[in-house]
Amino acid sequence: MAAGAQGRPIVVGANHRSSTVGLRERMFLDEAKTSLLLTKLAEEGIAQAIVLSTCDRVEVQSVVDDPVPHARTVRALLTEASGEPSDVVANQLYDHCDEAAVRHIFAVASSLDSQTVGEPQVLGQVKEGHRFSQGRGMVGAELETLLQASYSVAKRVRTETDIGLHSVSIASAAGRIARDVQGDLTDARLLIVGLADMGDIIVEQFRTAGATNITMSGPSRRTETAARRAGYGFVPFDRFDAALRGAEIVVAAAGAGRHLITAAAMEQALVARRRRPVLLIDAGVPGDIDPDVAELEGAFLFSLEDLERVALQGRSTRNVAADSAWEIVDQEVAAWRRSRAGRGAVPAIVALREHFETTRNTLLAEEPGADAAEATRLLINRLLHQPSRAMREIAETETDNRANYGGTAEQLVRRLFNLGAKKDGNEE
């Protein structure tokens, strides 16, 4: 990036509007893959970037010197991560640049770009991506400033609108249903099956509601490590049936491509439990629980679509608040634009001061005996020499837009030095 040049924000990614669930699942980046992507971005000259990888989106937010080639680079890397042909992925990716990128980044942090507008989790996801990139030296001053601005926007949206009111997220809907089915969750035994992001969000909602007895199981070999990292209990998958019999709440989020909980296995668990109710939430993509489980006495099965329908009940109020939130976002984008313009003028102002000081020192060295009045006259003439010549050259340039060009230069000088406007062809 050239000295004094300002980086340009870009965003490239796929979200719930632009892409299929299947593509986002294949594109999903765990910690190791995120680290590898950041390394590849740095190798391609993208030194400032964060990565967001959630159930709603997989995207790269960055600040670069040249948006067009760098956007192509990010597109190629995300396509590579998906394992899909480029022609399949191309139309499901979006890219935003400059103000459009800033607006998108502000909207994401404010949860206006989420499937469930107003969900509180997304800001934490942005901050986690921020911390992860920071730890790898991928957050420079410009990206830091932009991200901090997005947090301020999110705070304004939360404080000045009702977007955070009412339980309209899928996770909060799950929490409400859990309390309806099981009552107080303090002593409820919660079984997690799998590692998907949406499952984590739902479980976090249960923890907020008081659930502490949490056990994890699943077919992946990473499950035990994940359980230990989160502070959960762990049950090997070959002992899963026993864990199922002891659970009041089951959150399946493996997306294994097969039914990990069959109707037969659930029936046996319910018999062992003497039909005490079990809440089952299938957050897997594709589903992990046999839909026939819903027909069993004592089993209360909810898919993500079911939770979405519950969430819709409170969404009308939040949609009204979203209109006000977008107004805040647009105000802050305009403020960012003004701030950026001000920062862009600083190098020129510094250079102008240095030029004036150099000219003054040179003149004093050349005219050591000049009194104050003479020195001032000589300094003014010398400082105005080059600008006067440049304005004459502009006025004399033989181009079709000569008059506009010269007039613009003159207007700029008048504005810079508060000279007033021309009136009837004469200076005021």
Question: Mean pLDDT in the chain?
Answer: 85
Domain co-membership, 71 together with 151: yes
DSSP state of 370: -
pLDDT digits (tens, 9 = 90+) for 200-237: 778 888 887 788 899 999 888 888 888 888 889 999 99
pLDDT digits (tens, 9 = 90+) for 186-209: 888 999 998 766 677 788 888 877
Residue where the block lists tokens 């594109």: 27
**CA angle centred on 313, ends 310 and 314, rounded to 5°:** 115
Distance of CA 244 to the CA centre of its chain: 37
Token code pair at residue 428: 């005021």
d(C-alpha 342, C-alpha 39), whole Å: 33
Provide the pLDDT for residue 402.
47
Using only the alpha carbons of the chain, give its radius of gyration. 30
Query: Total structural domains in the chain?
Result: 3
Distance of CA 168 to the CA centre of its chain: 21
pLDDT at 13 over 80: yes
Give me the half-sphere count of Cα atoms (radius 13 Å) on the Cβ side of residue 351: 7
355: in domain: no
Domain co-membership, 201 together with 302: yes
**CA angle centred on 153, ends 151 and 157, rounded to 5°:** 115
Domain co-membership, 160 together with 26: yes
What is the pTM assigned to this prediction? 0.58
Domain co-membership, 410 together with 375: yes
Which residue of the set 10, 46, 55, 77 is catalytic? 55
What range defines the domain where residue 410 resides? 367-427
d(C-alpha 426, C-alpha 71), whole Å: 51
pLDDT at 359 over 90: no
pLDDT digits (tens, 9 = 90+) for 112-145: 998 777 777 788 899 999 999 999 999 999 999 9
Residue ranges of E strands in 42-160? 48-53, 57-64, 94-97
Bigger pLDDT: 34 or 304? 34
Domain co-membership, 98 together with 195: no
Token code pair at residue 80: 């590579």
d(C-alpha 125, C-alpha 150), whole Å: 13
d(C-alpha 268, C-alpha 245), whole Å: 8
Report the pLDDT averaged over residues 291-311: 87
Report the pLDDT averaged over residues 385-409: 65
418: in domain: yes
Report the pLDDT averaged over residues 237-262: 90
347: in domain: no
353: in domain: no
Q: Which residues contact 358 (CB under 8 A, 6 or more apart)?
A: none
358: in domain: no
pLDDT digits (tens, 9 = 90+) for 55-79: 789 999 999 999 999 999 999 999 9
Provide the pLDDT for residue 3.
46
359: in domain: no
Domain co-membership, 131 together with 178: no
Report the pLDDT averaged over residues 401-424: 64
Angle between helix axes 170-182 and 304-312 (nearest 10 degrees) is 100
Domain co-membership, 188 together with 213: yes
Domain co-membership, 394 together with 322: no
Bigger pLDDT: 232 or 184? 232
Report the pLDDT averaged over residues 348-363: 80
Read off the CATH number of the domain in which 201 is found. Answer: 3.40.50.720
% the chain with pLDDT above 70? 88
Domain co-membership, 308 together with 324: no
d(C-alpha 148, C-alpha 130), whole Å: 10
Token code pair at residue 83: 């394992």
182: in domain: yes
296: in domain: yes
CB atoms within 10 A of CB 384: 11
55 as an active site residue: the answer is yes
Domain co-membership, 162 together with 174: no
Euclidean distance between the first and the last CA atom of the chain, given in angstroms as a whole number: 44
